[in-house]
Amino acid sequence: MARFDTLYQEMLTRIMNEGVREMSERTGHETTAIPGLHFSIDIEKEGFPLLTLRKIPVKMFVAEQIWFIAGTRKPADFLREYTKIWDNFTNPADVVTVAYGYRWRKHFGRDQLGALIDLLKKEPSSRHGVIVTWDPAQDGLSLFKKKNVPCPYSFTVNIIGGRLHLHNIVRSNDMVLGFPADVAGFALLQLILAQKLGVTPGVYSHSISNAHVYDNQYDAVNELISRKDSHKAIQVTLPKHTFERAEKKDRKLAEEMIKNISDQYAPQAAITGLHVVL
């Protein structure tokens, strides 16, 4: 079984066995949750962390990362051609106010992602490679109900031993629908940054403050835990100059990346009837 599939089943099993069941005031759904869930996987040695226990839409997380790197916040600007995943979070002007890439590149008055690359080019041993998505002036700590606040709210990039490692910090993860796509997307970002900096990708780490399963997913979770015959992990090969092409929202880049991953990807049967709880 692929290493990531094994880790995923272990996390789901722990949540269902050890988690606390309680109602969410915001959604009206019961969740089973545990605090402080963490995993790490060495992409170079253990393969790309794309779940094969069920199908994850490849074009969704590939296009999303290109959209993030481009720093835009309108789904109509490139993203919607591939996925409508962010359409539930737009305002009347069709803008996602918390779009991660926009916050990385423009929102705080500086290009955090560009500065990260410049820093690690000049000082590869730096421990200051922190990107922040959460805006304390706008997000959280309020009874005012927003349609969306960032779930992955910060990540850190380190180059250790000539390999680029990414640690993703997540306040809340829907372990059935959100988590697998988040992991694949940020692991892809790790590969893109490693290519840009001319180093090898290393360990991807993912830490969740609140890891949960919704009550309408319990049957799906039991099915995922019971599946045995997952396929081997894939190895992603990036086209040349991926970062620069992503900044330009290159549609041919998206097609090349989707094809490279899809040609290797052989997931088990989809689980139908899953719905995002908003």
| Residues designated catalytic | 151
SS (H, E, C) 150-218: CCEEEEEEEEECCEEEEEEEEEEEECCCHHHHHHHHHHHHHHHHHHHHCCEEEEEEEEEEEEEEEHHHH
**Can you say whether the dihedral through the CA atoms of 263, 4, 8, 79 is positive or negative?**
negative
Directed axis angle between helix 112-122 and helix 178-197, to 10°?
40
- Give the integer Cα–Cα distance in Å for 215 and 210: 15
8 Å CB contact between 3 and 233: yes
Write out the DSSP string of 91-151.
Answer: -TTS--TT-HHHIIIIITSS-HHHHHHHHHHH-TT-S--EEE---TTTSSSSSS--S---S
DSSP letter, residue 35: E
Structure tokens at 228: 């045995």
Write the burial class of residue 131 (CB in 10 Å: 0-12 exposed, 13-18 middle, 19+ buried).
Answer: buried
Helix/strand/coil for 37? strand
